Structure 1
Amino acid sequence: MSYDDESVASPPPEMPLLLAAELQDHLMTASNDLERLQRLLDDACVVLMDGFHGTAGQLGEVIDLGHEVTPHLQAVRQTLYKTVTALQFQDMATQLIAHTNKRLRNCADQIARDALGDDDPDGAAVVDEAPMKPNPVTQDEVDAGSVELF
């Protein structure tokens, strides 16, 4: 197979420095927003897990006291367990956020390196390798026992 001059990719045109800086700022802002989202998600999950475990404990005490386990009480208990299981999938969200954050920072670093080139007063920018997998989580729904991580 031969390649002619038209099929060989030429290097991309240089991006104006101000445009590169603005794009890098937007990527870093998105990355920082993802970090804030992760903290909010972590805090909410801790509160919810504490509440659900407390409620499950109270249901267990009611049952231990000899109260009849009615079908309604059993349904409440099963719903509570499903909810706790769903909250455990917060780990998937954490992995997706971290993966996306790493990709955004990689893009921002590449833009900075390419835009500044040899003009960077701090020396050549070090760009961490981008994540190899396009998506660390193959799960797209919350069902117990059906998650594939990394």
Structure 2
Amino acid sequence: MLEDPSSAPPESEGLPPVFQLLAAADLQDHLMTVTNDLDRLQRLLDDAGESLMTHFYGATNHLNRLLAQAAATPGFDDADLHKVQTEMAGAITALQFQDMATQLIAHTSQRLRNCADQLARDTFGDDEDGAGVVEMAPLKPNPVTQDEMDAGSVELF
């Protein structure tokens, strides 16, 4: 965070103030571009997660109907259907990915926006609309402590 021109990063030392402002503006633009890219990634993941859930529940409903029909058919070997049911249950674990990725993207985006806003406020000061508003940075360093997914009990919502 730049409090005043004398605390500028070393790479901007010796540059005229106008170039320091241009460098800060360029950095802010890059931060906002990354934030916009993360927002777009978030929308893509949300769409993929919604589609995955829809297809998962559809397949589960079909599988449950087949299991009910198999149970009503004397002598029917439903072992393969139970194997498919086990595989479907394992697929739920993959659905955690969307939730974890969503949390990480939102957290990172919020941190980047905070940096961009602080940079703008500290470098450019207030404008005709008033004091610059800086959204608070996340308090936790990381919303998701898990870095892998294993089969087991999963709560989706």
- TM-score band by shorter chain is 0.7 to 0.9
If the length of structure 2 is used for normalisation, what is the TM-score?
Answer: 0.77
Residue aligning to 1:55: 59
Which residue in 2 is equivalent to 1:104? Answer: 112
1:64 aligned onto 2:85: no
Identity over aligned pairs, percent: 57
Q: Distance in 1 between matches of 2:26 and 2:92?
A: 42
Matches within 5 A, 1:10-89: 12-13=7-8, 16-66=20-70, 68-89=76-97
Kept after mapping to 2: 8 A contact 1:102/1:130 = yes
Question: What's the counterpart of residue 6 of structure 1?
Answer: none
CA-based RMSD of the aligned residues comes to 2.1
Distance between the aligned counterparts of 2:77 and 2:53, measured in 1?
23
Rounded Cα–Cα distance in structure 2 between residues aligned with 1:43 and 1:36: 11
The answer as to 2:149 corresponding to 1:138 is no
SS at 1:124 equivalent: coil
State the 1:146 CA deviation: 7.7
Which residue does the alignment assign to 1:7?
A: none
Greater shift after overlay, 131-140 or 76-85?
Answer: 76-85
Task: Give the unaligned 5+ runs of structure 1.
Answer: 1-10
Which TM-score applies when normalising by structure 1?
Answer: 0.80
Runs of 4+ residues over 2 Å off in structure 1:
66-73, 120-124, 143-147
Aligned length: 136
Distance 1:130 1:79 in 2: 40
Q: Give the structure with the higher percent helix.
A: 2
